[in-house]
Structure 1
Amino acid sequence: MPTMIRRPPTIVCYICGREYGTKSISIHEPQCLKKWHNENNLLPKELRRPEPKKPEVRTITAKGFYDLDALNEAAWTSAQSQLVPCNVCGRTFLPDRLIVHQRSCKPKASK
C-alpha cells in the first residue's frame, strides 16, 4: 500500500493569491504589500485601487487549531477582488496586466 505524503501546510497571500509556507508568509506579506503600493502608484488614476485589507477570519477552531481552509478561502477572495474587468471582453486582470491586455483586445466584429 503506497504511503500518503502530506504536503506541508501553506497559507494564501491575501494580496497576490499565491501560496507560501507558514514560516515564510510573514516575510512575504510586507514585501508583497510594498510591491503592490509601488505598482498601484504607477497606474493611471482610474485604475488605482484601495489598499487590500487582510481578511479577519476567526481561524481558531474549537479544538484550538488554526482553520487554514477558512483563512485561505478569505485570502483568496481578497486577492481575487484586486482584479479589474476589461471594458471590452469582460475578462479580469491585475490592473498592470489589464493595460497590456487592452492594447490587443478588440471588440468582436458583428456579422
Structure 2
Amino acid sequence: SGKQSLPAMKTRTGQKLVKGEKDNFNPTQPRASKPSPTVFCYICGRQFGSKSIDIHLPQCLKKWHAENDKLPKNQRRPPPTKPEDVVVGGVVDREATNEAHWKSSQGLMLECEHCGRRFKEDRLPVHQRSCTADSPAKRLGSKSRERVKK
C-alpha cells in the first residue's frame, strides 16, 4: 500500500489552498517575533501601538478640551503641545521620545489643593469628594499613620 497523504489544507472559509498559497488564518505559520513598538500618548499617558496612536490622539485631545472647558475659567489651561521627537545621529530615538511624551502627560495632571497628589483632570473632582481641607488624603509614599491606642 502507498503512503497516505495529508488532507488538502483548507482556508477558514473552507476553500482549498493551492500549493504555494498562504492562509492568513493558519496557526502554524510563523508569527511576528516581537510585538509592534508602543507609543505613549503625550496627553493621557496611556500606551498605544504605533498605528493606533494616530487614531487615539484626536479623540484624546477632544476629551481634553471637553474636560478643560468644564473647569472654572481661572483653572483652564492652554492645550497640550506634542513634544518634538528626540533625534540622535539623524535617527529618532524612540525610547527618549516616548519618555518625553510620558513626561508631557504627567505635566498635564492637576494637583489637589489639600493633599498635593496629582490627578488627571477628570479624576480630580472624584478625589476631592473624599479629600477635604479638614481631612486630607495621605500623600503617596508616606508612611501610614500609626493608630493611637486608647
Q: Same fold (TM over 0.5)?
A: yes
Which of the residues 108, 121, 133 maps onto 1:95? 121
Unaligned runs of 5+ in 1: none
Q: 8 Å contact 2:83–2:100 — kept in the other structure?
A: yes
> Structure 2 CA distance, aligned partners of 1:65 and 1:20?
21
> Structure 2 CA distance, aligned partners of 1:67 and 1:58?
6
Unaligned runs of 5+ in 2: 1-32, 137-150
Instruction: Judging by fraction of residues, say which structure has more helix.
Output: 1
Moved more, 30-39 or 69-78: 30-39
* Alignment partner, residue 145 of structure 2: none
Q: Choose between structure 1 and 2 for higher RCO, CA contacts under 8 A separated by at least 6 residues.
A: 1
* Alignment partner, residue 21 of structure 2: none
Pairs aligned (count): 104
- The alpha-carbon deviation at position 49 of structure 1 amounts to 1.6
Q: 8 Å contact 2:42–2:105 — kept in the other structure?
A: yes
Q: 8 Å contact 1:84–1:98 — kept in the other structure?
A: yes
Which of the residues 21, 28, 36 maps onto 2:64? 36
- The alpha-carbon deviation at position 55 of structure 1 amounts to 0.3
Q: 8 Å contact 1:43–1:96 — kept in the other structure?
A: no
Q: 8 Å contact 1:47–1:95 — kept in the other structure?
A: no
Alignment root-mean-square deviation, CA: 2.1
For the pair shown, which has the larger CA radius of gyration, 1 or 2? 2
1:74 maps to amino acid: A
Give 3-state SS (helix, strand or coil) of 1:76's partner.
Answer: helix
* Alignment partner, residue 50 of structure 1: 78
